[in-house]
Amino acid sequence: MAEPAVLEVKGLTLEFATRHGTLRALDDISFSIRRGEVLGVVGESGAGKSLTGSAIIGLVERPGRITGGEIRLKGERIDNLPPDRMRAIRGRRIGMIFQDPLTSLNPVFRIGDQLIETIQTHTGMGQAEARQRAIALLTEVGIPAPENRIDAYPHEFSGGMRQRVVIALALSVEPDLVIADEPTTALDVSVQAQIITLLKRLCRTRGTSVMLITHDMGVIAETADRVAVMYAGRIVEIGPVKDVIKHPQHPYASGLMGAIPALDTRLNRLTQISGSMPRLDAIPAGCAFAPRCTKAIDRCRSERPDLMPAGASEAACWLVGKVSAEASA
């Protein structure tokens, strides 16, 4: 692999200083995304998946602070840049798509103005040329009659159409990486299917890398190439999407897969993981999942496992060898 990864995160640690002491919200997160690759990041609320996204784009709110590790975009370190340089990177090299399209669209501007301004700032194109380019983009994301719709305000669009506009805005500067944080969560299923298909197609044709943050394993299954499963601020398993879904190695990942009701079969009981994810101020020593894990051994409670190779994936579990042996048996 001669080409450096588009995004490389190594040992990222993020802490909140609170009056009850320091809470570690992200703990030693490492992963990379190659060109044109879609990395899915799943986890329950509070697992740290959105926070990972915020850390990469340099938008961690106080009192949160990156206290360790590094983030590299195409080999260049970006976690320690001054705010103004980071702002340039955010607009130009990393595109963002959020759950609520209205956070990215200014309600008092026509969508065309926002698109054209973004294109002009980043490419130095003239007004007419930028407008042509904006119309082309809107066509590409599937907005009907873009020549007319370009002069409409955000509130004149439906939820799905707004999210398409946001995607156009994110892709307008041809970024290296797009971070999509729950891009379809607020949408109905039929619209969600449209947006997923669109995102997939655009990234494939443009070779854009995507970090897709979602709680919905189904969306990941359809969209992502690789997936990272997060739990209590750590990555517990990362690997090709097929392997993680069909042969999850970490007990949490396998519990999660069993807990999702399926469309094609009706089981009597879903696999359930007892308890719930610990709060940040009560993360146990050792493996954070150990108290809920049916297979935990003494070592799990005292020593924290790092990611280690497990089949085609990597899992942070002391029992990795055993679990995979059982699964194949």
Partner 1 sequence: MSAPVVQIANLSRVFDVSKPWLERVIAREGRLKLNAVDGVSFEIRKGETFALVGESGSGKSTVAKMVVGLLGPSGGHVQFNGLQPGEKPRPGAIQMIFQDPYASLNPRWRVRDIIAEPMEAIGLRRDAALRAKRVDELLTLVGLSPRDGDKYPHQFSGGQRQRIAIARALSSEPSFIVCDEPTSALDVSVQAQILNLMRELQERLGLTYLFISHNLAVVRHMAHRIGVMYLGRLVEIQDSDALFDNPQHPYTRLLIDAVPNLSEIGRDRVPVQGEVPSPINPPSGCTFHPRCPLVMDICKRERPAFIDGVACHALSRKG
Partner 2 sequence: MAGASPPPATQNSDGSWLRRVWDSDIGWSFRHSPVAIVSAIVSIVMILAAVLAPLFAPQDPFNPAVLNLMEGLTPPGTPNEFTQKSFVFGSDSQGRDMFSAVLYGTQVSLLVGAASVLFSAVFGVLLGLMAGYIGGKTESIIMRIADIQLSFPAILIALLIFGVARGLIPPGQQEDATLILLILAIGLSNWAQYARTVRGSTMVEKNKEYVQAARVIGRSPFLIMVKHILPNVMGPVTVIATINLALAIIEEATLSFLGVGMPPTQPSLGTLIRVGQQFLFSGEWWILFFPAITLVILALAINLLGDWLRDALNPRLR
Q: Which is nearer to partner 1, 175 or 248 (CB)?
A: 248
| Residue 152 interface partner, choices partner 2, partner 1, none, CB cut-off 5-8 Å depending on type | none
Shortest distance, position 60 Cβ to partner 2, whole Å: 7
Q: Is-contact 232 273, C-beta < 8 A?
A: no
Q: Which is nearer to partner 1, 59 or 262 (CB)?
A: 262
Paired tokens of 155: 């509130």
Q: Which of residues 148, 272, 294, 328 is near partner 1 by CB under 8 A? A: 272
| Residue 107 interface partner, choices partner 2, partner 1, none, CB cut-off 5-8 Å depending on type | none
Task: Find the length of the chain.
Answer: 329
Q: Which is nearer to partner 2, 54 or 209 (CB)?
A: 54
Is residue 205 within the footprint of partner 1 (CB under 8 A)?
Answer: no
Q: Which is nearer to partner 1, 78 or 224 (CB)?
A: 224
Q: Are strands 76-77 and 64-73 parallel, antiparallel or unpaired?
A: antiparallel
Q: Binding residues for partner 2, per CB under 8 A?
A: 16, 18-20, 23, 25, 45-51, 53-54, 59-61, 63-64, 98-99, 181-182, 279-282
| Residue 256 interface partner, choices partner 1, partner 2, none, CB cut-off 5-8 Å depending on type | partner 1
In angstroms, rounded to a whole number, what is the distance separating the alpha carbons of residues 11 and 79?
12
Q: Which of residues 148, 274, 294, 328 is near partner 1 by CB under 8 A? A: 274
Collect contacts of 191-197 with beta carbons under 8 A, ≥24 apart: 191/159, 191/160, 192/219, 194/142, 194/160, 195/160, 195/163, 195/164, 195/167, 196/222, 196/223
User: What residues numbered 131-170 form the site for partner 1, per CB under 8 A?
Assistant: 158-161
Residue 127 DSSP SS3? helix
Shortest distance, position 271 Cβ to partner 1, whole Å: 7
177 - beta bridge partners? 94, 209
Q: Segment contacting partner 1 (CB under 8 A): 18-26, 75-83, 241-249, 318-326?
A: 241-249
Q: Are strands 64-73 and 7-18 parallel, antiparallel or unpaired?
A: antiparallel
Q: Helix-strand-coil percent breakdown of the chain, rounded to 5? A: 40, 25, 40
| Residue 299 interface partner, choices partner 1, partner 2, none, CB cut-off 5-8 Å depending on type | none
Paired tokens of 3: 């080409």
Alpha helices in the chain (DSSP H): 49-56, 83-92, 111-123, 127-140, 146-149, 159-171, 189-206, 217-223, 241-246, 251-259, 298-302, 320-328
Which residues would be at the binding site for partner 1 (CB under 8 A)? 44-45, 158-161, 188-194, 196-197, 200, 215-219, 221-223, 225, 241-242, 245-246, 255-264, 266-274, 276-277
